[in-house]
Amino acid sequence: MGIAQLSSPGLFRFFGVYYNTSGRQRQLFLSTPKCKIVMSEEDKRFVIQEHSSGSDVHWDFMLELGTGQSLQTYRLDKTPQQVLHNPADAVRIFDHAPKFLTYQGLVNKGRGSVRIVESGTYQIVHNEHDRIELNLAGQILKGNFKLCHVKDDKWQFIADSTNG
C-alpha cells in the first residue's frame, strides 16, 4: 500500500486502515518527508526501552501509530529522567514491530538486550511537518513534550517548560 510524493507538502503516504472500538474505519497516514502523523483522537501507547549492546547504551522512544501498526521509533541519547530537564538528541530510525510495546529481552541475535524503562499513553496536541507536540501520560514523562526536526533524520525531544 502506498501513495507518496516526497517533494510535495500536503501529500500523504498511506500506511493502513484500522478500526476503532465503535467499528468506524480510520485511516492512518504519515506525511513525508518529515514524519507528520495523522491519527484518531484516541490515546495511543508509547514505550521507551533501554537498549544495551556491548558498550553502547541508548533509549528507543516508540510511538504506536495505530492498532497493529508499526511503531514510529526515535533513538534517544538520554534517559526519561534526563529528558525532563534537558533536551535529548533524537534520531529517527526504522519502525519497530508492535510487539516491542511490551517486549523485554535479547535482540540482534543475542548481541544486545532491551528493557522497558517507561511506558504510557499519548495524544498529539499539535502536528506540523517539523514539529510534533505530544501530551504524554507515563510513569515518568507526564505532560507536554515536543519532537522538533533539526535536519535529515535528526530531531530534538524536549519537555515543555510548564510541566511540573
| Stronger pLDDT, 163 or 145, i.e. the higher one | 145
Mean pLDDT across 48-68: 92
**Per-residue pLDDT tens for 98-136?**
999 999 999 988 889 999 999 999 999 999 889 999 999
Q: Where are the domains of the chain?
A: 41-159
Mean pLDDT across 129-153: 96
Q: Is the pTM value of this prediction over 0.85?
A: no
pLDDT for residue 138 = 96
- SS3 annotation, the chain: CCCCCCCCCCCEEEEEEEECCCCCEEEEEEECCCCCEECCCCCEEEEEEEEEECCEEEEEEEEECCCCCCEEEEEECCCHHHHCCCCEEEEEEEEECHHHHCCCEEECCCCEEEEEEEEEEEEEEEEECCEEEEEEEECCCEEEEEEEEEECCEEEEEECCCCC
